[in-house]
Structure 1
């Protein structure tokens, strides 16, 4: 198992390419007694500090070329590495989810922190999408590969572990 992403490390987020990024995945959650959802791109980022790769979810409005005017767009917060992507320091603007307190299967999320989805919503969404790829391993380790029982599905809708801020 590789070491989890830590605060202070640097990630390389790939340049936006609609063909490579594919369609964004829709993450659904409940917040303030209302159903919410948002589109995210499920990517693999390079951890420049360690040489490992990390699953990375970025809000669509922070990544698509058509939304570059957004003050939180990756082009405004990351350092452009020509032809490669955007170098982004792991700090309080990023959140993460993980399997356990030891940081197993840690993934990183860049979005509006006013959103409060439980971390398992990202795993389930990635597994259910055609772009899941490497995220399938993460979901299997979380025990989400098989069809769950309806009671657990209902409980996960109202309880869970929120994303953590670095």
Structure 2
């Protein structure tokens, strides 16, 4: 089992490229008795500290090139590494979801922390909305096989649990 990303680790988030930015996922949830939704990019980031990869969700407004004026944009909070992307230290700006207390299937989320979606909203949306070529890659990132019942079995591990802050 890969070691889960931890606070103080450094991760490399790739540059935004509309063609290879990863799957744009639409996350829906209910908060304060109203329906909410937001767009995220589902990426694979490199954990520089461990040499492993980690599923990484970033709010579209923090990633798209056209949004660089946003003070929370990855270009404004990460360290630019030429030819690579943005190096980002894992701290309380980031949140995470995981399968269990041991950190299995941990993924990282960078967004407005006022948003309160359950962890499973990211998993089910990312796996379910991935294009045919990306579906297997996304399912593999979360440790699930190709069968729908396996995906649903994994999702049950996340139901009802909010994201955690590093």
TM-score with structure 2 length normalisation? Answer: 0.88
RMSD over aligned CA atoms reads 2.2
Q: Distance in 1 between matches of 2:22 and 2:9?
A: 27
Question: Does 2:134 match 1:135?
Answer: no
Matched position secondary structure for 2:148: coil
Could you tell me whether the CA contact under 8 Å between 2:105 and 2:143 is conserved in 1? no
Range that drifts further, 13-22 or 2-11: 13-22
Aligned partners of 1:47 and 1:22: how far apart in 2? Answer: 17
Matched residue, 1:145: 148
Aligned residues: 158
Alignment of 1:60-99 (within 5 A): 60-99=60-99
C-alpha contact (below 8 Å) 1:123/1:139 kept by paired residues: no
- The match for 2:3 is 3
SS at match of 1:109: strand
What secondary structure is seen at the aligned counterpart in 1 of 2:20? helix
Q: Is the 8 A contact 2:23 2:126 kept in 1?
A: no
**Partners in 2 of 1:96 and 1:63 — Cα distance?**
18
Distance 1:3 1:134 in 2: 19
Rounded Cα–Cα distance in structure 1 between residues aligned with 2:50 and 2:105: 15
What's the CA shift string for 1:62-105, capped at 9, x where partnerless? Answer: 00000000000000000000010000000000000000000000
Q: CA deviation at 1:24?
A: 1.5
State the TM-score, normalizing by the size of structure 1: 0.88
Query: Match for residue 18 of structure 2?
Result: 18
Task: Give runs of ≥4 in structure 1 deviating > 2 Å.
Answer: 131-135, 144-148
Shift of the alpha carbon at 1:21? 1.1
Aligned to 2:103: 103
Residue 165 of structure 1 is matched in structure 2 by 165
Q: Distance in 2 between matches of 1:67 and 1:59?
A: 11
Q: Distance in 2 between matches of 1:89 and 1:6?
A: 10
